[in-house]
Amino acid sequence: MWLAATLDLLFPRRCPGCDGERPDGATLCSICEISLLPVDAFCPHCGAPTALRLEPACCGALADGSRLWSSYLYGGDLQRAIWRLKYERAMHLASPLSSLMAAHPPPWLTSADIDGVVHVPSSSAAMRRRGYNPAGLLAAALCRRSGLTHQPSALIRRPLRQTRAQMKRGADERRQAMDQSPFVVRGARAVRGRRLLVVDDVVTTAATLRSLMETLRAAGARRVDAWTLAATERRR
């Protein structure tokens, strides 16, 4: 116990949102925790938070009744924490961010009988730039907490013809990019007949998730649902 106390004194626990000190047992400091915006209502067609006031006609439904859940709205200190994980090599934030996901899980998770968890693979350009996959770190941390089975090598992603970051794309450009560079399943045996959960950090238009989920279903997956840490305001 004295060792833990000494380490806490020398290396105080930091809040992933603001990098300030946080209380024992807490994921965020009290200020950042207040800024969280849990999402409780979604469009039944695409998973968009209904608070964003999107109509079904302009969202684009997911395939075959697949479900999409995002734990929080993307913004405030959570946005800062995700940015640090993705672009500032703050890989240690995957664990506390997975804790936030576990605190606000999909209502259907316990009845989904998930056989395996896959994450959205990064493009080869992003992997060269970062050296790691933020979604993969988040999925691995979430599986350690939940006891679910992570399948980190189930999917690969072909190189994008265009190199613009996904969050800078409009909806039409994202869909076009997904048509040009589909995901590829590594070994159909790991997918066929299985109920899979796709994990990602942020969903914007859902074009990436839609393409990936359709690829998994085409490879024989029994069911494919998705869970993201946050959802942004969708752009048409």
Tell which residue, 79, 84, 54, 52, has the closest CA to residue 202.
79
Tokens in use for 128? 């060269």
Q: Does residue 87 register a pLDDT over 60?
A: yes
pLDDT in tens, 99-120: 999 999 988 898 889 999 999 9
Instruction: Work out the pLDDT band at 193, boundaries 50, 70, 90.
Output: very high
Q: Does residue 2 register a pLDDT over 50?
A: no
Q: Does residue 52 register a pLDDT over 50?
A: no
pLDDT in tens, 140-182: 999 999 999 999 989 888 765 544 455 555 555 555 544 454 6
Q: Does residue 139 register a pLDDT over 90?
A: yes
User: Domain coordinates of the chain in residue numbers?
Assistant: 31-231
Around 221, how many Cα atoms within 13 Å sit in the side-chain half-sphere?
A: 29
Q: Does residue 51 register a pLDDT over 90?
A: no
Q: What is the mean pLDDT of the chain?
A: 77
Tokens in use for 85? 């994980």
Instruction: Work out the pLDDT band at 128, boundaries 50, 70, 90.
Output: confident
Torsion region of 126: left, alpha or beta (phi above 0 gives left; psi -120 to 50 gives alpha): alpha
pLDDT at 3: 39
Instruction: Work out the pLDDT band at 194, boundaries 50, 70, 90.
Output: very high
- Stretch among 33-37, 82-86, 155-159, 219-223 having the lowest mean pLDDT: 33-37
Q: Does residue 5 register a pLDDT over 70?
A: no
- Span 21-40, average pLDDT: 69
CB 159 within 8 A of CB 124: yes
- Span 78-93, average pLDDT: 92
- Span 179-190, average pLDDT: 73
CATH number of 31-231: 3.40.50.2020
- Span 17-32, average pLDDT: 69
Element (H, E) at 184: strand 183-185
pLDDT at 147: 93
- Span 125-148, average pLDDT: 93
Tell which residue, 168, 179, 166, 174, has the closest CA to residue 122.
166
Work out the percent of the chain whose per-residue pLDDT is above 90: 35
